[in-house]
Structure 1
Amino acid sequence: MSRTEALSSFIDSAPPGEIADVTKAIKSILGDDSVQDELSPAFQKYNEEQFTTTKLPGGSTEVLVSAYNSLGDGRYYDPDTQSSFDFDHATGKASAVQSHVLESSQEDLVKSLNKSLSTHASEHYTKSSSGVYPTASDTALALLTVANKYSPTNYWNGRWRSAYIYTPTSSTITGRINVDVHYYEDGNVRLLTSKEVNIGHVGSGAADVVRKIAAEEKKYQEDLNRAFANLSEGVFKALRRQLPITRQKIEWEKISGYRLGQDIGGGGRR
């Protein structure tokens, strides 16, 4: 593995909201600020896969960056604002906004789906962004949603991503839901989970399509809630060690001062 490949793997696995911290750590370790140029392709891959959001200059809403709305050469478009923009993958900033008219045989469906999906996202997710884009063949539509919630002061960050391909001619939806949560107070725990979605016969109206998507996402969230409850009451509870013989809680910050088998176990010196 080359140096660039190794460094790119760190970028690729960066937790939600922590890409800047990972980049800063890489620069600090290498003592080389110019490494950012070397990692430019890795930044682009990360941003497109994670559905990174950005505000257009003078705008108030977040727009998506993905492979589905890429125009090439670092430019992306947003059908909702009918504009295109340059995106700096290293800084996450948008610039050079221009008017962009969507040219697609699915234009009307894109607009109606975009409205329905936006309503669904705003009702169910905080700080969410969504977008609907024709695929390269213009025979299907990509429906993307991302919801980020960052709380670094409480040592956790999380991201919900969903991507669906809706094919009007077959009235089917295929896609994937991804959940990524990182908790790092007094430890380092990360949840990475996903679900494949395959729905047939969803109807032809935008409301029907989004209703089916909403039902799948609700079911997945309920499944996750049940799984967490089972972990808390089952596996995690079983892993918790009972109190030692002294019936005293261990003061872990003083663990280096304990004499194993004596202070912890309650035995005396022989």
Structure 2
Amino acid sequence: MDSSERIQIASNFLLQSPPGEINDVLNDVRVIISDDESLQEGVLPALREYNLAQFIVADVPGTKHQSIVSTAARAPPSESDSEASKDRFLDPRSKTSFAFDHITLEASDPQTYEPDAESEPLRGALETSTLSYLAAHYLEGVGCVYAVPDSPDMVIQIVANKYNPTNYWSGRWRSEYKVAVQAGTLSGRILANVHYYEQGNVQLASEHNVEITLPTGSRPPADLASKVLALIADEEGKYQTSLNDTYQEMGEKTFKALRRALPLTRQKIDWDKVLGYKLGAELASNKAGFAS
């Protein structure tokens, strides 16, 4: 197997990394490549794709908050930009753009930018409502609102991560919505990823698409933003409830249908004594043989 094939295998592993565990996967695939310089250069496209899709968050230099790294957050390129410019992203909240390293996950080189004056009132109102929604419903959520270039539309992105390696699980909630002002629609998707790996390895990935009609008529930005986030809160609340119901049903019906809850003895097996169980069965069999 040549180096390019190893790089491709490593990239595929990285793209399937569970939430918060990509560094662990990267360390593991080092064994496959055995060349850190080739590894970093070869898997950079996969790391970039993964980070953008997973809404990786970055500590914005000079601020006390985090921002989302995503396709919607890409800074508009300029004629003087180099290849590295595609790794610059916007933090509309602080009106800052920053460079992002997809390997170290660090932000740097903050630069001020001027938002579009026409779209900023609605974008700012949506941001205020989004942050209020996060404070009420997400313990450690990050939310950003982006104006779509050359359009009155807006994109709202939300991500919440929870990593608990001590108890062998991690999870990530992502949601993205497009507010199409002229079309009067709110469309998007909700994605949830959970990984359990205590004495096993189970991943759950779910996706829910959203399509809602917005109220007609002209509204002040603050009123429209409040209505949009109320609709999002309702949709995410219903989806969370449906997930809880699904998990409950899986525990009570699906998994029980796949295997016995207990062996025929109706007692849990003590795996530390499993050899003793086997010897006991053999002795009992031999005893029966002698008796006959």
Q: Same fold (TM over 0.5)?
A: yes
What secondary structure, in the 3-state scheme, does the structure 2 residue paired with 1:69 have? coil
Identify if the C-alpha distance between structure 1 residues 84 and 195 changes in structure 2 by more than 3 Å, giving closer, same or farther.
same
What secondary structure, in the 3-state scheme, does the structure 2 residue paired with 1:60 have? coil
What secondary structure, in the 3-state scheme, does the structure 2 residue paired with 1:262 have? helix
User: Are residue 230 (structure 1) and residue 243 (structure 2) matched?
Assistant: no
Q: Of residues 160, 176, 194 in structure 1, which corresponds to 2:189? A: 176
- Quote how far apart the aligned CAs of 1:262 are: 3.4
Distance 2:138 2:70 in 1: 19
Q: Which letter does structure 1 place at the counterpart of 2:96?
A: S
Distance 2:31 2:5 in 1: 19
Fraction of identical pairs, as percent: 40
What secondary structure, in the 3-state scheme, does the structure 2 residue paired with 1:138 have? coil
User: Are residue 21 (structure 1) and residue 24 (structure 2) matched?
Assistant: yes
What secondary structure, in the 3-state scheme, does the structure 1 residue paired with 2:72 have? helix
Q: Which letter does structure 1 place at the counterpart of 2:107?
A: A
2:81 is aligned to none
Identify if the C-alpha distance between structure 1 residues 261 and 30 changes in structure 2 by more than 3 Å, giving closer, same or farther.
farther
Gaps of 5+ in 1: none
**Aligned-pair Cα RMSD in Å:** 2.3
Residues 34-53 of structure 1: pairs in structure 2 closer than 5 A: 34=37, 35-53=39-57
Identify if the C-alpha distance between structure 1 residues 245 and 113 changes in structure 2 by more than 3 Å, giving closer, same or farther.
closer
What secondary structure, in the 3-state scheme, does the structure 1 residue paired with 2:281 have? coil
What secondary structure, in the 3-state scheme, does the structure 2 residue paired with 1:67 have? coil
- Quote how far apart the aligned CAs of 1:104 are: 5.5
Name which one, 1 or 2, has greater alpha-carbon Rg. 2
1:185 is aligned to 198
Q: Of residues 89, 97, 115 in structure 1, which corresponds to 2:102? A: 89
Identify if the C-alpha distance between structure 1 residues 60 and 245 changes in structure 2 by more than 3 Å, giving closer, same or farther.
same
2:68 is aligned to 64
User: Is the helix fraction higher in 1 or 2?
Assistant: 2
Q: Of residues 22, 32, 35 in structure 1, which corresponds to 2:35? A: 32
Residues 85-124 of structure 1: pairs in structure 2 closer than 5 A: 85-103=98-116, 105-124=118-137
1:108-130 CA-to-partner distances (Å, cap 9, x unmatched) read: 11000011011112211121101
- Number of equivalenced pairs: 268
Structure 1 residues 207-216 or 95-104, which shifts more? 95-104
Q: What TM-score do you get using the length of structure 2 for normalisation?
A: 0.85
Q: What TM-score do you get using the length of structure 1 for normalisation?
A: 0.91
